[in-house]
Amino acid sequence: MPLTAQQEKAVVRYADVSVVASVSQDEVALSSLQELYLRPLSGEKNGGVALRDTLRAYLSSARSITSAAAILGVSRQTVRSRLREAEEKLGCSLDACGCDLEIALRIDQQWRLTRNGVENADPLIAV
């Protein structure tokens, strides 16, 4: 899986991709992340795109609901609602699983970008 596909920059810092690169080489870790974090979210409308996008925005903005809402162009209440829904689907709080979830979402995003944005495909089966 080429790690530069998500970046339009010519240079990628190792620190920005090291964890994803390492985990991507471990089929057991990939399967576990898929089962624990991606599959539960995929049962939603449009394959869970809104939930994944909301989680990515929330986690990338230092867990700020206000910043995530601004990134997504939705209300804070919409973000709160989606985060609650994600926690219910995942069966854990975002505080408890945020790091692993963020890795799963990064790998999922990389896979989707590498596959030219095919949203309905199973992201980790191809590994």
pTM of the model: 0.77
Indicate the pLDDT class of residue 121, thresholds 50, 70 and 90: very low
Q: Answer yes or no: is 70 within a domain.
A: yes
Question: What is the spatial distance between Cα 94 and Cα 101, in angstroms, rounded to a whole number?
Answer: 8
> Cβ(89)–Cβ(41) under 8 Å?
yes
C-alpha to C-alpha distance for 63 and 60, rounded to whole angstroms:
7
Q: What is the pLDDT of residue 19?
A: 83
Sequence length of the chain is 127
> In this structure, are residues 38 and 108 in contact, taking their beta carbons and an 8 Å threshold?
yes
Host domain of residue 104: 14-114
Q: How far apart are CA 40 and CA 63, in angstroms?
A: 21
- With respect to residue 35, please indicate whether it lies within any of the assigned structural domains: yes
Q: How many domains is the chain partitioned into structurally?
A: 1
Domain annotation covers residue 1: no
Query: Does residue 51 form part of some domain?
Result: yes
User: Is there a domain that residue 123 lies in?
Assistant: no
In a domain, 4, yes or no: no
Q: Is residue 8 part of a domain?
A: no
pLDDT at residue number 10: 59
pLDDT in tens, 29-88: 999 999 999 999 998 778 899 999 999 999 999 999 999 999 999 999 999 999 999 999
Nearest 5°: CA angle at 70, between 66 and 76? 45
Residue 28 lies in a domain: yes
pLDDT band at 95 (very low <50, low <70, confident <90, very high): very high
